[in-house]
Amino acid sequence: MFDLKDKVIVVTGAAGTLCSAIVEDFAKNGARVALLGRTRSKVVALSEKLNNEGCCTLGICADVTSELDLKEALAIIKENWGDPDILINGAGGKDHRALTEGVEFTPEELSGDANGFFGIHSEAFDAELAMNIQGTVLPSKIFGAGIARKGKGSIINFASMNSYRPLSRAPAYAIAKAGILNFTQWLAAYLAPAGVRVNAVAPGFFINERSRKLLMTDDGGFSERGQQVVSHTPMKRFGEAAEMVGAVRYLIDDQQAAFVTGICLPVDGGFLSCSGL
């Protein structure tokens, strides 16, 4: 397996359900991991937990849409460990104000009686695009320069099922994640001469704090929405956070994936393979 010992790895959205599992794997296998997130208490708590277990991490509060925050984070990382070897762009998410109430147009939204596309919250829409698109582009710019300086390394972006097909009610998220897929391909071609490989993973449906209430019932069963998802997932279940780790570990492996760049690896239980018909 690819040796992570003393590799300097930056993970944005580090305290999230998927990225925290990735962070723990990296840290427990000898990497020096910088945990970036907007909520200081979460990234510091995870960093302290891992450090108490003998790992080497830094918990840094940073907003991935702020170039100033990211430059300050880079300065901390360089002071402690030098330039990064790997960047995991895990930050992103949805803003519930940018969701439509239903899945298709109804005349009621024209009179303001329903929250449809024509009444969608414009500022929330813009914020969601920034969180996902700028929140991937800016870290790639700020931390990617150091990786390019070393002449070897990886950037991993987080795409989505929305990168391939727009799921209902979330137009801003669909636009953003489709953009992440295209940006991954563009950046892979651009950074190839620098020895930097750029790839993406596309998680299917995983349970986290936000989605549990939407997809699960209090007794552990599936909600109506959860049943819809599972019925379109051939493996008939949601993913576990630990199941993302192997895909990321493969893509950052400079030996096993040395000729792999510009791809997106779905980890979806077969969701993209199933039309539901």
pLDDT digits (tens, 9 = 90+) for 89-146: 999 999 989 999 999 999 999 998 778 999 999 999 999 999 999 999 999 999 999 9
Q: Is residue 61 part of a domain?
A: yes
> What residue ranges in 100-235 does DSSP mark as E strands?
153-158, 196-203
Catalytic residue among 164, 173, 190, 250: 173
Same domain, 215 and 111: no
Instruction: Kindly give, in sequence order, each residue whose CB lies less than 8 Å from that of residue 246, ignoring residues fewer than 6 positions away.
Output: none
Task: Give the whole-angstrom CA distance, residue 171 versus residue 198.
Answer: 26
Instruction: Kindly give, in sequence order, each residue whose CB lies less than 8 Å from that of residue 165, ignoring residues fewer than 6 positions away.
Output: 272
Closest CA to 98 of 214, 160, 163, 176: 176
Q: What angle do CA 12, 192, 244 make, to 5 degrees?
A: 35
> What residue ranges in 8-82 does DSSP mark as E strands?
8-12, 32-37, 56-61
Same domain, 123 and 234: no
Q: Judge whether 173 counts as a catalytic residue.
A: yes
Spatial contact of 223 and 215, defined as CB atoms under 8 Å apart? yes
Task: Give the whole-angstrom CA distance, residue 181 versus residue 190.
Answer: 15
Same domain, 162 and 262: yes
Same domain, 234 and 101: no
Q: Along the 277 residues of the chain, how does pLDDT read in single tens digits?
A: 789 999 999 999 999 999 999 999 999 999 999 999 999 999 999 999 999 999 999 999 999 999 999 999 999 999 999 999 999 999 999 998 999 999 999 999 999 877 899 999 999 999 999 999 999 999 999 999 999 999 999 999 999 999 999 988 999 999 999 999 999 999 999 999 999 999 999 999 998 877 788 888 888 899 988 999 999 999 999 999 999 999 999 999 999 999 999 999 999 999 999 987 6
Domain hosting 186: range is: 8-204+241-266
CATH of the domain at 254: 3.40.50.720
Q: Is residue 3 part of a domain?
A: no
Task: Give the whole-angstrom CA distance, residue 135 versus residue 131.
Answer: 5
